[in-house]
A = this chain, B = another copy of it.
Amino acid sequence: MKGNVIVGQSGGPTAAINSSLAGVYRTAKDRGAKKVYGMLHGIQGLLQERYIDLSEHIKNELDIELLKRTPAAYLGSCRYKLPEIHENRKVYEKIFEILNRLEIEAFIYIGGNDSMDTIKKLSDYAIVTGQPTRFIGCPKTIDNDLALTDHTPGYGSAAKYIGTSVKEIIRDGFCLEYEKGVVTIVEIMGRNSGWLTGAAALAKGEDCPGPDLIYLPELAFDPEKFSKKIKKLMEKKMSVVVAVSEGIKLADGRYVCELGTSVDFVDAFGHKQLTGTASYLANFVAGEVGCKTRAIELSTLQRAASHLASRVDILEAYQVGGAAVKAADEGDSGKMVVIDRFSDDPYQSGTELKDVHKIANGEKLVPREWVNEEGTYVTEEFITYVKPLIQGDVSPVMVDGIPRHLYRPF
């Protein structure tokens, strides 16, 4: 490389997004980039000329290892959608003025669907206006809902955390006996896709019966059938654990979490806060069955728990970052790095480039045939798909009993 590289992070944070950043930095340096800049808070920050020289922050090999183990976006993230080029050329002129001034040869953006939309628009603009900068996207989302890639970095670590936590919750549920039993509802992220919620099935193994029911947002949720299922389970066992996606909906399209929303849960702007699926269902079951119930939301923990990251996930995130820089260096633009799976067992994968026009704003859902007929559990195909992605550990660097992160004051 002859010029400089700039990298940004965008969208919801994950436990793996910084490993991609580490991969970008390392490969850019290896390939001779003079400077590697980091946009602060993505394209939104860049528009405000907020960026840093990464070599002032990543000073040695230990820093790279710490960065891989640091959750959330090290550079800060944003949720910002670029206007269409014909709507507002000024924004594009501003961005390219900055990129040209910084002599940016490669622009790498790590994120999900919206971020790939950014790559698409910037690379289109560069082609139309004959700018030299090349634009490559790096996939990242715990939701795993990006099209054309087998899976996305961030998903494997979240799945590992979910499988482990649900297993610990199941163990906890069995050990206290309540006269009429106990039903635990675990709420897992995923507004439209059930990739994360399905990972609750990873709790199942030789030493754990796994959750009893799993409900994904891809299929309509029927409270009456659910209640019957629970009653039947409670005839046989004292502790029932149910994994539900935050986004499950009734057949008429209403979110389950809206059913229980009281005025208390309208925020300052008058928006209904769409949380509380587990709370609502726990109360619903208590009323229907008359047993003790518990609601547990895995919430932010499931996307931030780098202390329990998957080694496969962290390494792939790192590789994907490196592959993005390599692609830009070799002249590609308007592409996203995707992960191809060659084999489930032994697991083998590699990276490839796909045209970002075919990816942006798409959404990959769990296939219908990966959920059982009743819509109450994932199938073996789902398990075969997810299991390789949670393998191996990345030992946290423990300092004084707590995992160490690479820190940059905000």
Contacts and interface: CB of A to CB of B under 8 A. Distances in A.
Contact of A308 (B44, B171, B307): B307
Prevailing SS type, chain A contact patch:
mixed
Interface in A236-278: 237-239, 260, 262-265, 267-269, 273, 275
A175 B407 contact: no
A112 interface: no
B301 A405 contact: no
A77 B176 contact: yes
Nearest to A204: B402
The size class of the interface chain A forms with chain B is 35 or more
Contacts of A280: 264
A246 to B, nearest CB: 13
A144 interface: no
Nearest to A202: B402
A47 interface: no
B301 A169 contact: yes
Contact of A238 (B291, B292, B404, B410): B410
- How many copies are assembled? 2
Interface in A385-409: 387, 390-393, 398-407, 409
A361 B292 CA distance: 26
Interface string A63-100: 00000001111111111000000000000000000000
A207 interface: yes
Interface stretch (A31-39, A160-168, A323-331, A369-377): A160-168
Contacts of A55: none
A404 B171 CA distance: 12
A319 interface: no
Contacts of A310: 401
The 8 A-B residue pairs with the shortest CB-CB distance, nearest first, are A207-B407, A390-B401, A168-B304, A73-B175, A268-B286, A72-B171, A72-B175, A262-B262
Interface of A: 9, 12-13, 41, 44, 70-79, 160, 163-165, 167-169, 171-172, 174-177, 184, 202-203, 205-209, 237-239, 260, 262-265, 267-269, 273, 275, 279-280, 283, 286-287, 289-301, 303-308, 310, 387, 390-393, 398-407, 409-410
